[in-house]
Amino acid sequence: MELGDLFVQFIERYRQVTVDADKVEMEKIGFCDLTLNQFYYLRGIQRNDRITLTELAQKLGVSKPSANAAITKLMKDGFVVRTQSDVDQRKFLLSLSEKGYQVFKHKQRVFEAFIKQIEKTTTENQQKTLTEAFRIMIECSPEKKE
């Protein structure tokens, strides 16, 4: 099997794991499913609490209109709140709502469970190989400009 085929197979397997975990979580706590793209927005806000839309778009490497559309949807779904800055009333700051924080934490748990499964079913040597492979993929990827 070629590298491209293996990579696609890995992504599909990972996606299935997250879909299955989301179904369980939805039954448990009733949150709607979140796309991977939406998760990246939540992660950007969680890492930079009280960030402006412009700053978030720059950090994620997307256009401001794209970020605005994604954030509008996340706000409508109750995952993100926008508040006016106390310092500069022209600025609006984004942060996670309690629902957004809970769904973000759920996605983090899914990621961690996936990694634990890999660690549980591979040898130390295989884990070193995977670590090196991920480092190579990161180094070969174009770096995001901030």
Q: Look-up: residue for tokens 């509008």?
A: 72
The conformation of residue 51, written as its DSSP 8-state character, comes to B
Do the Cβ atoms of 94 and 43 come closer than 8 Å?
Answer: no
Q: Report the alpha-carbon distance of residue 112 to residue 91 in Å, rounded.
A: 35
Q: Report the alpha-carbon distance of residue 65 to residue 118 in Å, rounded.
A: 38
Through-space distance between the first and last CA atoms of the chain, rounded to whole angstroms: 36
Supply the pTM of this predicted model: 0.72
Domains, the chain, in order of start with CATH, read 34-140 (1.10.10.10)
Here the tokens at position 15 are: 């996606």
User: What CA–CA distances, in Å, run from 56 to 14, 65, 94, 96?
Assistant: 26, 12, 9, 13
Give exposure, 109-139, as e/b (b: 16+ Cβ within 10 Å). ebeeeeeeeeeeeeeeeeeeeeeeeeeeeee
Q: Report the alpha-carbon distance of residue 30 to residue 26 in Å, rounded.
A: 4
Q: Look-up: residue for tokens 């369980």?
A: 24
pLDDT tens, N- to C-terminus, the chain (146 residues) = 788 898 899 889 888 877 777 777 666 666 666 777 888 899 999 999 899 999 999 999 999 999 999 999 999 999 999 999 899 988 999 999 999 998 888 888 888 888 888 899 999 999 999 999 989 988 987 765 44
